[in-house]
Amino acid sequence: MNTEKEIKRVTTKALSLLKKKGIKISALTAYDFITAKLLDEAGIDLILVGDSLSNVFQGNETTLPVTMDEMIYHTKAVTKAADRAMVVVDMPFMSYQLGIDDGFRNAGRIMKETSAGGVKLEGGQRVAETIRKITEAGIPVMGHVGLTPQSIHQFGSYRERGRDKEEADEILTDAKVIEEAGAFAIVLEKIPAALAKRVTESVSVPTIGIGAGFYCDGQILVTPDMLGLNLEFHPRFVRHYLKLANEINTAVKKYIKDVRSKNFPNESESY
């Protein structure tokens, strides 16, 4: 199955089919039109407007500060560019923690205002009823278990989760419960590969891993990380497909030199 040719628009059904056929799902984040266009044209299956935009776009230390309005603003730019990829939007911190109805209303607002294909929210058993209510309204929900960055102050660090048996069993239960509540896919973040394998084999919906090893049904990375835009940030699960920071530095230095030496613009670059 050539996924790029056969799938005109990636839907929850298409993702489920990919899992059944053993074809790995590719996912990346985007927060703007041009990046989303490049990812879509390259054939990515899923674009996540992640709340990681708080870190990589806004420069915050955590994902907590980003707001509903900001997520919606960025998603509108992304959905205009994505012709084939499914666009999923992170529900930001405090947009669903206040209660089921609040989460339901905010998920509806995201869908109404952005043309996205679904929402993502973090957590297991404690958000299961919120997931149920949102999916019952026809809104696809992606779950997210393991290291859930919106709970960083509770965890105290970004170390991997599920290393001991108790925590591993809880993550497995979380995944099963949110599948039962209606999640169409589940992000597994920073958990041991063996645990991700157990989860992937225990649920019928696709698992999308980040720092969760090879056995997940798909993989996601934060795009600026995999492009090497910040070379100082290099946890073991990030592969730098480019070292774009170096290339941009070289290009900008060359531009500065050309401007100062009056080499830019030349005659053919002028009107």
Interface with ligand KIV (CB under 6 A): 29, 48, 50-52, 90, 187, 210, 220, 222
Residue 97 C-alpha from the chain's centroid: 19
Please state, in angstroms and as integers, the Cα–Cα distance from residue 177 to each residue in 125, 173, 203, 206, 230, following that order.
6, 6, 10, 14, 36
Q: Which residues contact 39 (CB under 8 A, 6 or more apart)?
A: 28, 30, 47, 82, 85, 223
Q: Which amino acid is at 15?
A: L
Give 58 or 250: the residue with its C-beta nearer to ligand KIV.
58
Task: Determine whether 180 is an active site residue.
Answer: no
Q: Which residues contact 4 (CB under 8 A, 6 or more apart)?
A: 43, 84
Minimum CB–partner distance for residue 222 and ligand KIV (Å): 5
Candidate list 6, 160, 189, 269, residue with the active-site label: 189
Minimum CB–partner distance for residue 221 and ligand KIV (Å): 8
Tokens coding 130: 């919120």
Q: Which residue has the tokens 């730098």?
A: 240
Report whether 50 contacts 32 (CB < 8 A).
no
Minimum CB–partner distance for residue 158 and ligand KIV (Å): 11
Minimum CB–partner distance for residue 52 and ligand KIV (Å): 3
**Cis before 140 (ω within 30):** no
- CB-based closest residue to ligand KIV: 50
Give 15 or 48: the residue with its C-beta nearer to ligand KIV.
48
Indicate which residues carry an active-site annotation.
189
